């Protein structure tokens, strides 16, 4: 009889001790003398997670040469990892231990002390039955590559690269067009009232180009990527000469930007019929190239209508930046000529930043005739709008400037497939958690920044870029080993029929098909051990370590004994 199970019941101060009869637990568990032919050591402690408690446990494991350990205490979500660390220090494989939750599931929810005690004994017993079926698991250590791939040379990509390189991190910056700058390359001025911003942006591009830690690839696209946090194998393709570059990186920051919707796609904006209807981006380009905003005839317009919310209803979200940039365009116009009449047709005015209101009010007082409307239509050179009183008015301005919705870049789907990250129903990327983890994705080591996760201002793009750089710098430290999850799925070759059902259900893209052997294989570094594949496998050839069928069956059996 060499196996010894140590069962330690935590009083958790008065939390457990006042609600269950710990003495009776100790008696009844110790009375299971011939339990599976194993020696039982049953003790209690005031507070197992305290420094003294952990030292006590460590000493007990060593002195008694325990082969299995049960801690009857709180929720595994609180202290599972605490006791696993104690096991490691004491030389016991941490997967030969199990925490049994007698606080949240007994002491705190069953008011009758007798019943709570019965329940605690039942749970401990089930834990003991399970723990003898557990197997030691060995953690692996993998080398990690600290370099970072940044996709997209717009503001978000430039800022990510600069922040990472500021910490001497090597960055590969990939831009599909021939030059850096992204969409904002066309903007003459940036909000709010920063004057000419071409200088600021050009300075960023210059800094990136001369930074020894940043290698820039223009006219280049990502063609292939496999791997996981700390270990991505990447193939880049140059679109000019079709040459390929292979490289390694540890993380990916995706900043592929956005596109402006074509107003033609929305009902009521017949924009090709009239030469004098422009999208805001066309005006930005015209102004930055010629320093003028003129009609096709070359003359200055006398009246200009600004139309907000083009496609707002159809796409189903507010594009956040349009109200602001239309105000900026009216600023452009009035700086060209104070005689231009500006009619501003808005449905809702979205001015989210603290500086915005003042800027708007100042221009509204001098140059903008603002009018709240419930709808607008453009046909030929006529613009018809419906006022809030329901009355329709038709005007014939010299020039109409539309603010079309910001929509996802066309390559979002391509990147979602390549990097195995999720798309939101709008087509923008889905964050790991919109509030508490907003630049991470469901794939470790892949981050999304800028307008690819929803319309955003340039300052937001910079904030997100710096956030993602911070994430990379704390998750991917040079020289640090990566310890992948050990409670992962494995596929038994002999049973696998190669049906590939598991490939479809795996949310992490952790399974690939080995055509040569005709079986599916789990990439253990990517697998998170959810067991989705186990549930879906028709031939029962997959098991998830530490949550195997025999282990769960034992728990079920004991849970139903009485």
Partner 1 sequence: MDSKEFKPRIVGFLCNWCTYAAADMAGASRKDISPSLNVIRVMCSSRIDHNLLLTTYFNGADGILVAG
Binding site for partner 1 (CB under 8 A): 75-78, 101, 103-105, 108-111, 115-116, 118-119, 122, 126, 487, 505, 528-532, 534-536, 540, 544, 547, 549, 552-553, 555-557, 559-560
Nearer to partner 1, 169 or 545 (CB): 545
DSSP assigned state of 386 = E
Q: Among candidates 533, 495, 494, 531, which has minimal Cα distance to 512?
A: 533
The CA distance from 145 to 143, in Å, is: 7
Nearer to partner 1, 107 or 255 (CB): 107
- The least distance separating partner 1 from the CB of residue 553, rounded to whole angstroms, comes to 6
- The least distance separating partner 1 from the CB of residue 537, rounded to whole angstroms, comes to 8
- The least distance separating partner 1 from the CB of residue 329, rounded to whole angstroms, comes to 47
- The least distance separating partner 1 from the CB of residue 511, rounded to whole angstroms, comes to 14
Reported in sequence order, the residue ranges of 289-348 that DSSP labels E, i.e. its strands, are: 303-310, 341-346
The tally of CA atoms less than 13 A away on the side-chain side of residue 12 is 22
Nearer to partner 1, 100 or 190 (CB): 100
Please enumerate in sequence order all residues whose Cβ is within 8 A of that of 268, keeping only pairs 6 or more positions apart, or say none: 375, 376, 377, 378
- The least distance separating partner 1 from the CB of residue 534, rounded to whole angstroms, comes to 6
- The least distance separating partner 1 from the CB of residue 4, rounded to whole angstroms, comes to 25
Reported in sequence order, the residue ranges of 181-285 that DSSP labels E, i.e. its strands, are: 214-217, 220-228, 231-238, 244-249, 251-254, 258-260, 277-279
Reported in sequence order, the residue ranges of 229-361 that DSSP labels E, i.e. its strands, are: 231-238, 244-249, 251-254, 258-260, 277-279, 303-310, 341-346
155, 182 contact by CB (below 8 A):
yes
- The least distance separating partner 1 from the CB of residue 409, rounded to whole angstroms, comes to 31
Q: How many CB atoms are located within 10 Å of the residue 30 CB?
A: 14
Give me 25's structure tokens.
């637990």
Nearer to partner 1, 11 or 331 (CB): 11
Nearer to partner 1, 124 or 400 (CB): 124
- Burial class of residue 318 in the structure, from the number of CB atoms within 10 Å of its CB (0-12 exposed, 13-18 middle, 19+ buried): middle
- The least distance separating partner 1 from the CB of residue 311, rounded to whole angstroms, comes to 36
Nearer to partner 1, 391 or 435 (CB): 435
Nearer to partner 1, 372 or 546 (CB): 546
Cα Rg, the chain, nearest whole Å: 32
Nearer to partner 1, 36 or 77 (CB): 77
Give me 266's structure tokens.
């929305």
């Amino acid at each position: 009889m060499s196996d010894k199970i140590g069962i330690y019941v935590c009083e958790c101060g008065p939390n457990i001790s006042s609600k269950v009869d710990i003495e009776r637990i100790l008696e009844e568990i110790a009375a299971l003398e011939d339990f599976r032919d194993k020696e039982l050591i049953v003790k209690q402690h005031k507070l197992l997670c305290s420094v003294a408690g952990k030292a006590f446990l460590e000493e007990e494991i060593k002195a008694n040469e325990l082969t299995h350990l049960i801690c009857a205490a709180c929720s595994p979500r609180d202290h599972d990892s605490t006791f696993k660390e104690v096991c490691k220090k004491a030389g016991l494989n941490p997967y030969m231990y199990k925490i049994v939750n007698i606080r949240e599931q007994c002491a705190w929810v069953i008011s009758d002390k007798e019943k709570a005690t019965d329940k605690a004994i039942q749970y401990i017993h089930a834990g003991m039955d399970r723990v003898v079926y557990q197997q030691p698991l060995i953690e692996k250590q993998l080398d990690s590559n600290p370099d970072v791939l940044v996709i997209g040379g717009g503001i978000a990509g430039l800022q990510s690269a600069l922040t990472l390189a500021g910490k001497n991190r090597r960055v590969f910056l990939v831009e599909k067009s021939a030059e850096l700058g992204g969409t904002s390359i066309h903007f003459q001025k940036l909000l709010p009232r920063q004057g000419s911003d071409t200088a600021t942006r050009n300075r960023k591009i210059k800094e990136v180009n001369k930074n020894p830690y940043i290698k820039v690839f223009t006219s280049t696209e990502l063609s292939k990527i496999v791997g996981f946090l700390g270990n991505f194998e990447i193939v880049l393709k140059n679109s000019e000469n079709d040459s390929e570059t292979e490289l390694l990186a540890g993380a990916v920051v995706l900043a592929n930007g956005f596109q402006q919707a074509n107003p033609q796609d929305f009902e009521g904006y017949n924009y090709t019929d009239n030469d004098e209807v422009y999208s805001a981006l066309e005006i930005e380009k015209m102004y930055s190239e010629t320093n003028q905003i003129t009609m096709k005839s070359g003359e200055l317009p006398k009246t200009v209508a600004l139309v907000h919310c083009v496609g707002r209803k159809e796409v189903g979200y507010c594009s956040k930046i349009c109200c602001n940039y239309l105000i900026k365009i009216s600023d452009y116009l009035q700086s060209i000529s104070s005689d231009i009449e500006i009619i501003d047709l808005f449905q809702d005015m979205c001015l989210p930043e603290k500086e915005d209101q003042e800027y708007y009010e100042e221009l509204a007082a001098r140059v903008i005739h603002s009018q709240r409307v419930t709808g607008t239509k453009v046909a030929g050179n006529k613009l018809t709008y419906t006022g809030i009183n329901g009355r329709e008015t038709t005007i014939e301005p010299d020039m109409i400037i539309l603010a079309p919705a910001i929509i996802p870049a066309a390559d979002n789907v391509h990147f979602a497939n390549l990097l195995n990250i999720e798309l939101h129903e709008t087509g923008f990327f889905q964050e790991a958690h919109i509030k508490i983890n907003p630049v991470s994705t469901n794939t470790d080591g892949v981050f999304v920044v800028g307008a690819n996760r929803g319309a955003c201002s340039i300052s937001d793009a910079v904030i997100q870029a710096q956030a993602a750089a911070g994430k990379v710098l704390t998750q991917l430290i040079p020289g640090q080993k990566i310890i992948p999850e050990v409670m992962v799925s494995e596929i038994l070759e002999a049973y696998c029929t190669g049906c590939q059902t598991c490939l479809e259900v795996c949310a992490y893209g952790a399974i690939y098909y080995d055509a040569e052997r005709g079986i599916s294989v789990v990439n253990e570094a990517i697998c998170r051990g959810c067991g989705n594949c186990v549930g879906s496998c028709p031939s029962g050839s997959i098991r998830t370590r530490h949550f195997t069928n025999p282990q769960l069956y034992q728990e079920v059996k004991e849970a139903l004994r009485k």
